[in-house]
Amino acid sequence: MLKFENASYETKNEVVRYFEKIRSREVIRLYTSGSTGTPRPVDLQPAFLERAARDTNACFGLGRGVKALLCLPVNKVGGLMMVARALYGGYALTVTDPRARPLEQVAGDFDFVSMVPYQALESGVSLERVKTLLLGGASIPPGWQPPPGPRIYQSYGMTETLSHVALRPFNNREEQAYQALPGVELSQDADNCLIIDAPKRGVNNLRTRDVVALLEGGKRFFYKGRHDNAINSGGLKFFPETLEARLVEMPVPFFITGMPHERLGEALTLVVEGEELEEATIKQAAAALAGKEKIRMAYRLPRFDYTESGKLHRRRTRERLLEGEGLNLNW
């Protein structure tokens, strides 16, 4: 059952169109996010789409009558899979426009909602109306303290895997490892990048560029960062995603990259979005990294580059710094 609340004509039309495509078992073409390069087309086969949807429903115990909210673009894998899960699970699915605070646009409580982290942060205490919250599509900002109530899971997956193939319980701060879903096999290449096999989803020997620490048994892993984002500073390799997770006091969007340095080759560099944060606050937050991990340069940019789905475009934003944009704080 589909119910629309504060949804535009474009959203209604698109959701109904994709709902009919899934129900008629059509091949659906989506595009990757483009956060690490040019967006690529991915054709999602009906049988694999169904398998992925049923995997999620089984994992979370979701079935007929579940009250769920769709607040993601349906032309991206996160939104599309919510429609598929609703269709194969018999949800009562409420649809609203993809906005920063989607729960403000709808009434009632929900058993299951999928959001990107930005939506969750903006939603604040309204998340108490959600029993189970699935977060994906981007990293969760360090230091985020969600309201009590919802069970929160951080997902690992991509368009090619038809959304998540592994989950991490976010409420349990002691558990940082992702657990593979049933039917998903994990391995690594020579660069310690993750390889995914999920034959029932049509995923065979999918080689990612995500560096992980694979735990014994091959069903759990710690995510370290993108191989392409690695910073070589003074002969040491650093993964910015790992460092960023420790800057829990930074209250605005930021990321870490490497900028040219005559002695180190690349210097660990903090880039902060916006003008409102005082430099003293930036320095205090950055002080969480010391020794070989010390931040040596810092920049401000009014606005980062983002993909259509809201992911930070690291490469493009860094290129702007190299071209002379941004304010060098001259640390």
Summarised one tens digit per residue, pLDDT across range 235-283 is: 999 999 999 999 989 988 999 999 999 999 999 999 999 998 999 999 9
Summarised one tens digit per residue, pLDDT across range 32-58 is: 876 666 789 999 999 999 999 999 999
Report the C-alpha gap between 163 and 181 in whole angstroms: 12
Contact 91, 62 (CB under 8 A): yes
Domains and CATH numbers, the chain: 2-181 (3.40.50.12780), 230-328 (3.30.300.30)
| 191-200 CB contacts, 8 Å cutoff, 24+ apart | 191/227, 192/224, 193/227, 194/221, 196/161, 196/165, 198/161, 198/165, 200/48, 200/51
Q: How many CB atoms lie within 10 A of CB 55?
A: 22
- Please report the beta strands in 189-244, taking only residues with DSSP state E, as ranges in sequence order: 193-198, 203-214, 220-226, 231-233, 236-238
pTM for this prediction: 0.87
And the tokens for 93?
A: 């699915």
And the tokens for 172?
A: 């349990």
pLDDT for position 176:
84
Report the C-alpha gap between 212 and 204 in whole angstroms: 19
The three-class DSSP label of residue 106 is coil
Report the C-alpha gap between 94 and 91 in whole angstroms: 9
pLDDT for position 37:
65
Secondary structure letter of residue 124 according to DSSP: G
User: pLDDT below 70 — which residues of the chain?
Assistant: 34-37
Residue type (1 letter), 159: T
pLDDT for position 36:
64
